[in-house]
């Protein structure tokens, strides 16, 4: 097992509220790693801290052998972590193809001068970006909508497009924030297959999900957060038997009822 | 050029080649047509070309990158005053245009960066208000920087500014082709301005369909998502700001040379708003729309001036709405009504940020 | 020392007007997240309506005490501005509540210029001399330091408006509904708050405050004209940002601080800059402050709201 990402005692506070308390976890190369927990457990906060949307007060991330810059989304993407959003965030005035092309931004180099002069390098890079974007649309299965404005796509296709856009940044770790939210059964199965394919092609996946069934069926290992603390980290079968996890979920259900 | 010619009604989509041809012909003969109604209309046409340039520049900032700049005219002022300082008797300097114009553009770009830097981390509305304030500061300085050293000559402005000289041809003198036939100065300026507009369109088109254009559109559509795909939003916004300012600076230089006179009066907030309205009117973000908007709102007030005044005289025997009021009324109503009723603008063409033909046969026919 | 004291008094007077106008910006921003660019022009309309009303009453019912004319002017200007504020919200902003980010901003600018244009059509381009109904002869408050009755009225009226507003927002049901709407529209409306009504009310109250501010400005300077709202509007916005936009106390503190900085700055700028700059540069202080605040403390002096909402 080669470690890809290691979170070391990461803490994040909002005012007086401790959203994350010394969360440490390890994601191995090539696995699908699930992060679950009741509502408000800190899953999305962990996600935002990892991808640089928030800066943690304490702790650090070691990614692929070196420390991650904290709170610098663009540099984190550059290091190879890409994300999607719980409430889909696409570029609405761009087509599906262009959304994915935008995702390739960080892997291209053309500067202003190159663009203005349309040098050969610029044109080649543009062609490459276009082709790659199309390949990625095909990969997630929505290439026939390449020229559709992203806001006109169906919900399920928007989810796939967001994944394609994230893949365009050529990540080592793909972080998906509740990708199955709002999907029907068929779409969920397709999503599951897509994630399997992505893993098969060598990209590590971090998955936050509410759908416990999906997580348990798909993930190699799972961590459980409750009130901002990690209460378990193991293979799915073990986690399901863990009394603290059962308590957290039943307790949560009890409060909700 | 193609998507501009395609915006021509009826012809554009059906016969793109004919449309392009028509566009070129119209662009070339319009000063001749305008001259039939008098030289005033050629002047108006020339100013319309400057407004097109300004609108294209502001559109980079507002339409592409989604940053509302309300002090855009200040960059125009920087360009114009640079020309006035370096090519007029005011300081006794008479540098050639190929030095002055890039300098003006450069100063404007620097001003753009200096202004953008503190505000670009913040929400768009703050940028709007800071740029508004910046426009006013520049105007205050233009009006008051007269002592102890007279730099701007205050509200009187600077006159006797050198015209443009291209390859030994003084644009202010006109071009003597044969004994009896002379191309007038006004016409020469028109064709020079036209060349700048064409160049601007080509360059902006190239930026739009590039990783830079896509990054701008991404920031405009969803800044958080843009960051999440690794776009350095701050640098790219600064680039948009600086590019827009550069266009303003160049247009300002051209304005100074053409007008031969600059004063703070030409750079009021009203002008910033006018340019913004042109963009909104035609269709924010798409080049054809921006050009149509700039042309329409340059000419409409002038046409109104020639229609509305006599009509008012005939009916009421006196003028209630003078031309300046009419222009303000037209612009403010255009801005509000377009936003409420037709936010995509008059020419709601879609802007594209990729080239279709690059996929070749990869794309399955649909 | 006396010069300084005098500038402080001048600053307090101007600052209290900024504070009243800033309240209007901050209330609308707090509830809608919108910079109401037209707010400064509502102030201008207030001044010009008061001008017309006062002139009318002076001709129609001569011989009354100047204070009565002044009060009549206010009583006409305030409802007029309230109607305008309501109309703007109802016809322009309400439709754009869910539109893309730039649309309401651009519309607000359009409304601002439309108001100026209409004022130009109705009242012309000229400066109108505003009736000086309150004494302008300076009274010596401390040795060598003067204050005119109109300045005193300005400070007094502004203070009264601010206290009134704070009581309204913190002590009444209506105020609670306003705070709830500012917190979260959807939840507030689920709790039975008529959020549309509350938003309209916010505009109406803000406009009434602006009307008073407009009359005060015109009384202090003795003139009223169609573009008089622009600068005070811009500065009041700066004051709102300085104090922390969306925060009522912040708007008041910001207004006063800005007024003081401006007055003291204008008094000393010539000495400081070695004669390069003079009091005609007074207006740049507001923008310099705005820039500094945005760079170093974008949430303002008292603000907690994060300015960088995505």
User: Reduced to 3 states, what is the DSSP secondary structure of residue B95?
Assistant: coil
Residues from chain B contacting residue A112 (CB–CB below 8 Å): 207, 212, 239, 243
Tokens of B37: 């109604």
CB contact under 8 Å between B214 and A94, yes or no, is yes
Task: Give per-residue burial for B96-131: e unless 16+ CB within 10 Å, then b.
Answer: ebeebbebbbbbbbebbeebbebbbbbbbbbbbbbb
CA A191: distance to chain centroid? 13
Question: Could you tell me where the DSSP H helices lie in chain A?
Answer: 43-50, 73-79, 96-103, 112-117, 120-140, 155-168, 185-200, 212-218, 236-241, 243-256
CB contact under 8 Å between B229 and A82, yes or no, is yes
Closest Cα in chain B, distance from residue A248 (Å): 31
Q: What is the mean pLDDT of residues C3-22?
A: 93
User: Reduced to 3 states, what is the DSSP secondary structure of residue A248?
Assistant: helix
CB contact under 8 Å between B229 and A110, yes or no, is no
Task: Please give the pLDDT value at position C310.
Answer: 28
Of B257, B255, B266, give the one whose Cα is nearest residue B95. Answer: B257
* CA distance readout (Å), A109 to A113, A118, A248, B218, C198: 11, 13, 48, 17, 51
Of C95, C109, C117, the CB nearest to B325: C117
At a CB cut-off of 8 Å and minimum separation 6, what does B290 contact? Answer: B52, B55, B56, B59, B63, B278, B279, B282, B283, B284
CB contact under 8 Å between C107 and B336, yes or no, is yes
Residue A57 binned pLDDT confidence (cut-offs 50, 70, 90): very high
Of C99, C103, C287, the CB nearest to B133: C287
Of C35, C68, C42, give the one whose Cα is nearest residue C209. Answer: C42
Residues from chain B contacting residue C39 (CB–CB below 8 Å): none
- DSSP readout, C156-177? HHHHHHHHHHHHHHHHSHHHHH
**Contact B235/A at CB under 8 A:** no
Residues from chain C contacting residue B124 (CB–CB below 8 Å): 101-102, 105
**Contact B224/C at CB under 8 A:** yes
Of B143, B223, B333, the CB nearest to C114: B333
CB B284 within 8 A of CB B270: no
CA C121: distance to chain centroid? 23
φ, ψ for residue A61, nearest 5 deg: -115, 135
Indicate if the pLDDT at residue C268 is higher than 60. Answer: yes
Of B119, B321, B332, the CB nearest to C294: B119
Task: Please give the pLDDT value at position B363.
Answer: 62
CB contact under 8 Å between C105 and B124, yes or no, is yes
Determine the Cα angle at B311 with ends B309 and B315, to 5°: 120
**Contact B232/A at CB under 8 A:** yes
Residue C293 binned pLDDT confidence (cut-offs 50, 70, 90): confident
The architecture CATH gives domain C2-296: Orthogonal Bundle (1.10)
Indicate if the pLDDT at residue A143 is higher than 60. Answer: yes
**Contact B228/C at CB under 8 A:** no
For residue C139, the cross-strand partners are C147
Spatial distance between the Cα atoms of A109 and C310, rounded to a whole number of angstroms: 27
Indicate if the pLDDT at residue C24 is higher than 70. Answer: yes
Indicate if the pLDDT at residue C130 is higher than 90. Answer: yes
Q: What is the pLDDT of residues A169-202, one digit of tens each?
A: 999 999 999 999 888 889 899 999 999 999 999 9
Spatial distance between the Cα atoms of B73 and B269, rounded to a whole number of angstroms: 7
Residue A250 binned pLDDT confidence (cut-offs 50, 70, 90): low
Domains of chain A: 1-80+182-257 (3.40.50.300), 94-170 (no CATH)
Q: How many CB atoms lie within 10 A of CB B79?
A: 32
Spatial distance between the Cα atoms of A22 and B269, rounded to a whole number of angstroms: 54
Instruction: Please measure the distance between the N-terminal and C-terminal CA atoms of chain A and give it in whole angstroms.
Output: 42
Half-sphere exposure of A256 (CA within 13 A, CB side): 9
Mutual orientation of helices B39-59 and B16-36 as an angle, nearest 10°?
Answer: 140
**Contact B210/A at CB under 8 A:** yes
Peptide bond into B148 cis (omega under 30): yes
Of B358, B363, B366, the CB nearest to A126: B358
Of all residues in chain C, the one with the smallest CA distance to B222 is C310
At a CB cut-off of 8 Å and minimum separation 6, what does B157 contact? Answer: B261, B262, B263, B264, B265
Indicate if the pLDDT at residue A101 is higher than 90. Answer: yes
Residue A249 binned pLDDT confidence (cut-offs 50, 70, 90): confident
CB C134 within 8 A of CB C153: yes
Any chains having at least 3 CB pairs less than 8 A from chain A are B
Spatial distance between the Cα atoms of C108 and C89, rounded to a whole number of angstroms: 10
Tokens of A134: 């199309």
A107: DSSP letter: G
Task: Please give the pLDDT value at position B10.
Answer: 67
CB A204 within 8 A of CB A20: no
Task: Please give the pLDDT value at position B14.
Answer: 74
Of all residues in chain A, the one with the smallest CA distance to B230 is A74
Q: Any idea how long chain A is?
A: 257
Interface test with A, best of B205, B210, B230 (most A CBs within 10 A): B230
Task: Please give the pLDDT value at position B366.
Answer: 43
User: Reduced to 3 states, what is the DSSP secondary structure of residue C34?
Assistant: coil
Spatial distance between the Cα atoms of B20 and B15, rounded to a whole number of angstroms: 9
What is the bridge-based pairing of β-strands A221-226 and A32-36? Answer: parallel
Residues from chain C contacting residue B137 (CB–CB below 8 Å): 283-284, 287
Q: How many CB atoms lie within 10 A of CB B94?
A: 13
The domains of chain B are located at 1-36, 38-281
Of A30, A44, A35, A28, give the one whose Cα is nearest residue A212. Answer: A35
For residue A10, the cross-strand partners are A23
Of all residues in chain A, the one with the smallest CA distance to B349 is A93
Chains B, C: CB contacts within 8 A come to 124
Decide which of C284 and C77 is more confident.
Answer: C77
φ, ψ for residue B183, nearest 5 deg: -85, 120
Largest Cα–Cα separation, chain C: 62
Task: Please give the pLDDT value at position C9.
Answer: 92
Of B355, B149, B116, give the one whose Cα is nearest residue B235. Answer: B116
Of B134, B136, B335, the CB nearest to C283: B136
Of all residues in chain C, the one with the smallest CA distance to B122 is C308
Residue C306 binned pLDDT confidence (cut-offs 50, 70, 90): very low
Of B122, B329, B340, the CB nearest to C307: B122
CA C295: distance to chain centroid? 24
Q: What is the pLDDT of residues C158-205, one digit of tens each?
A: 999 999 999 999 999 989 999 888 888 888 888 888 999 999 999 999
> What's chain C's average pLDDT?
89
Q: How many CB atoms lie within 10 A of CB A6?
A: 17
Of B210, B224, B229, the CB nearest to A165: B229
Of C248, C243, C207, give the one whose Cα is nearest residue C41. Answer: C207
CB contact under 8 Å between B231 and A91, yes or no, is no
Question: Could you tell me where the DSSP H helices lie in C184-298?
Answer: 185-190, 195-221, 230-243, 248-272, 284-296
Spatial distance between the Cα atoms of B244 and B242, rounded to a whole number of angstroms: 5
Spatial distance between the Cα atoms of A98 and C20, rounded to a whole number of angstroms: 48
Spatial distance between the Cα atoms of C303 and B258, rounded to a whole number of angstroms: 49
For residue A11, the cross-strand partners are A58
Percent of chain C predicted with pLDDT > 90 = 58
Task: Please give the pLDDT value at position C185.
Answer: 86
Tokens of C173: 């049901």
Question: Could you tell me where the DSSP H helices lie in chain B?
Answer: 2-5, 11-14, 16-36, 39-59, 73-86, 97-119, 124-144, 185-208, 211-221, 223-228, 233-259, 269-282, 287-316, 323-341
Residues from chain B contacting residue C262 (CB–CB below 8 Å): none
List the 305-334 stretch of B: residues with Cβ below 8 A of C.
Answer: 320-321, 325, 328-329, 331-334
**Contact B143/C at CB under 8 A:** yes
Interface test with A, best of B210, B238, B245, B356 (most A CBs within 10 A): B210
Any chains having at least 3 CB pairs less than 8 A from chain C are B
Q: What is the pLDDT of residues C94-128, one digit of tens each?
A: 998 888 778 888 899 999 999 999 999 999 989 99
Of A118, A147, A169, the CB nearest to B230: A169
Spatial distance between the Cα atoms of C256 and C252, rounded to a whole number of angstroms: 6
Closest Cα in chain B, distance from residue C152 (Å): 30
Interface test with A, best of B219, B352, B354 (most A CBs within 10 A): B354
**Contact B202/C at CB under 8 A:** no
Spatial distance between the Cα atoms of B242 and B253, rounded to a whole number of angstroms: 16
Spatial distance between the Cα atoms of A227 and A231, rounded to a whole number of angstroms: 9
CB C281 within 8 A of CB C265: no
Of all residues in chain B, the one with the smallest CA distance to C101 is B124
Indicate if the pLDDT at residue A254 is higher than 70. Answer: no
Q: How many CB atoms lie within 10 A of CB B45?
A: 24
Closest Cα in chain B, distance from residue C294 (Å): 7
Q: What is the pLDDT of residues B171-192, one digit of tens each?
A: 888 887 777 777 888 999 999 9
Tens of pLDDT along chain B (366 residues) come to 666 777 676 666 677 788 888 889 999 999 999 989 989 999 999 999 999 999 999 999 999 999 989 999 999 999 999 999 999 999 989 998 889 999 999 999 999 998 888 777 776 778 888 888 888 889 989 999 887 789 999 999 999 999 888 877 888 888 877 777 778 889 999 999 999 999 999 999 999 999 999 999 999 999 999 999 999 999 999 999 999 999 999 999 999 999 999 999 999 988 999 999 999 999 888 899 999 999 999 999 888 888 888 888 888 877 778 888 888 899 999 999 999 998 888 887 677 898 877 787 666 544
Of C88, C303, C104, C202, give the one whose Cα is nearest residue B124. Answer: C104
Half-sphere exposure of B326 (CA within 13 A, CB side): 19
Of A91, A97, A118, the CB nearest to B225: A91
């Amino acid at each position: 097992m080669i470690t890809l990402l290691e979170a070391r005692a990461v803490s994040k506070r909002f005012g007086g509220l401790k959203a994350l308390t010394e969360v440490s976890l390890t994601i191995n190369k090539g696995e699908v790693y699930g992060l679950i927990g009741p509502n408000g457990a800190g899953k999305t906060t962990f996600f935002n801290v990892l991808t640089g949307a928030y800066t943690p007060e304490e702790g650090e991330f070691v990614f692929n052998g070196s420390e991650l810059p904290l709170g610098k989304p663009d540099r984190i993407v550059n290091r190879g972590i890409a994300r999607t959003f719980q409430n889909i965030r696409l570029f609405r005035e761009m087509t599906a193809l262009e959304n994915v092309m935008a995702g390739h931004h960080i892997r291209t180099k053309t500067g202003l001068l190159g663009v203005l002069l349309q040098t050969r390098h610029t044109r080649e890079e543009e062609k490459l970006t276009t082709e790659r974007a199309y390949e990625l649309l095909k990969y997630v299965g929505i290439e026939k909508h390449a020229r559709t404005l992203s806001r006109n796509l169906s919900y399920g296709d928007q989810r796939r497009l967001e994944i394609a856009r994230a893949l365009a940044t050529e990540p080592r770790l793909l972080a998906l924030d509740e990708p199955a939210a709002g999907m029907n059964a068929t779409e969920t199965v397709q999503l599951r297959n897509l994630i399997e394919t992505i893993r098969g092609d060598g990209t590590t996946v971090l998955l936050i999900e509410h759908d416990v069934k999906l997580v348990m069926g798909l993930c190699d290992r799972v961590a459980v957060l409750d009130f901002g603390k990690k209460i378990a980290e193991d293979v799915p079968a073990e986690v399901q038997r863990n009394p603290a996890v059962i308590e957290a979920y039943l307790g949560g259900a009890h409060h909700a009822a | 050029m193609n998507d501009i010619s395609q915006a021509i009604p009826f012809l554009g989509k059906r016969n793109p080649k004919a449309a392009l041809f028509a566009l070129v012909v119209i662009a070339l003969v319009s000063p001749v047509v305008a001259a039939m109604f008098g030289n005033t209309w050629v002047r108006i046409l020339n100013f319309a070309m400057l407004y097109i340039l300004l609108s294209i520049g502001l559109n980079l900032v507002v339409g592409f990158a989604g940053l509302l700049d309300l002090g855009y005219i200040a960059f125009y002022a920087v360009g114009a005053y640079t020309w006035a300082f370096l090519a007029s008797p005011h300081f006794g300097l008479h540098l050639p245009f190929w030095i002055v114009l890039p300098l003006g553009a450069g100063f404007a770009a620097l001003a753009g960066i200096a202004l953008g830097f503190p505000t670009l981390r913040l929400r768009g509305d703050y940028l709007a208000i800071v740029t508004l304030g910046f426009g006013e500061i520049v105007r205050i300085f233009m009006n008051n920087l007269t002592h102890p050293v007279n730099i701007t000559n205050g509200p009187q402005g600077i006159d006797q500014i050198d015209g443009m000289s291209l390859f030994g041809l003084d644009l202010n003198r006109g071009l003597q082709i044969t004994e009896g036939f002379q191309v007038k100065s006004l016409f020469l300026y028109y064709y020079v301005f036209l060349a700048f507009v064409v160049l601007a369109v080509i360059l902006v088109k190239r930026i739009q369909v590039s990783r830079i254009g896509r990054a701008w559109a991404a920031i405009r559509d969803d800044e958080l998502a843009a960051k999440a795909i690794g776009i350095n939003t701050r640098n790219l916004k600064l680039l948009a700001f600086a590019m827009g300012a550069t266009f303003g600076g160049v247009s300002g230089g051209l304005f100074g040379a053409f007008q031969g006179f600059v004063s703070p009066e030409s750079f009021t907030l009203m002008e910033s708003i006018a340019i913004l309205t042109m963009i909104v009117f035609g269709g924010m973000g798409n080049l054809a729309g921006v050009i149509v908007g700039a042309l329409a709102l340059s000419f409409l007030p002038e046409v109104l001036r020639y229609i509305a005044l006599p009509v008012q005289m005939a009916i009421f025997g006196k003028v209630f709405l003078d031309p300046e009021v009419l222009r303000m009324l037209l612009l403010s109503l255009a801005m509000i009504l377009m936003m409420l009723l037709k936010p995509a603008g008059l020419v709601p063409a879609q802007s594209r940020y990729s080239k279709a033909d690059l996929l070749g046969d990869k794309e399955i026919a649909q | 020392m006396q010069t300084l004291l005098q500038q402080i008094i001048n600053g307090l007077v101007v600052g209290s007007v900024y504070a009243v106008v800033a309240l209007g910006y901050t209330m609308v921003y707090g509830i809608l997240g919108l910079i109401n660019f037209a707010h400064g022009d509502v102030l201008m309309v207030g001044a010009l309506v008061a001008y017309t009303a006062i002139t009318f009453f002076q001709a129609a019912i001569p011989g009354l005490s100047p204070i009565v004319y002044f009060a009549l002017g206010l009583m006409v200007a305030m409802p007029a501005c309230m109607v305008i504020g309501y109309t703007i919200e109802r016809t322009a902003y309400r439709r754009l509540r869910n539109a893309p980010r730039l649309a309401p901003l651009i519309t607000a600018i359009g409304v601002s210029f439309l108001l100026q244009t209409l004022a130009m059509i109705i009242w012309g381009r000229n400066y109108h001399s505003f009736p000086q109904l309150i004494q302008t002869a300076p009274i010596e408050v401390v040795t060598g330091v003067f204050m005119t009755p109109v300045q005193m009225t300005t400070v007094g009226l502004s203070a009264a408006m601010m206290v009134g507003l704070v009581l309204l927002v913190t002590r009444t049901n209506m105020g609670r509904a306003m705070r709830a709407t500012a917190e979260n529209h959807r939840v507030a409306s689920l709790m039975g708050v008529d959020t549309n009504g509350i938003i309209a009310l916010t505009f109406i109250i803000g406009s009434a405050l602006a009307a008073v501010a407009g009359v005060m400005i015109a009384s202090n300077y003795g003139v009223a004209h169609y573009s008089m709202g622009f600068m005070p509007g811009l500065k009041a916005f700066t004051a709102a940002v300085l104090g922390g936009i969306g925060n009522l106390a912040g708007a008041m503190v910001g207004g006063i601080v800005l007024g003081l900085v401006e007055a003291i700055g204008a008094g000393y700028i010539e000495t400081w800059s070695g004669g390069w700059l003079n009091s005609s540069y007074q207006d740049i202080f507001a923008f310099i402050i705005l820039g500094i605040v945005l760079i170093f403390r974008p949430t303002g002096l008292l603000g907690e709201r994060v300015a960088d909402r995505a």
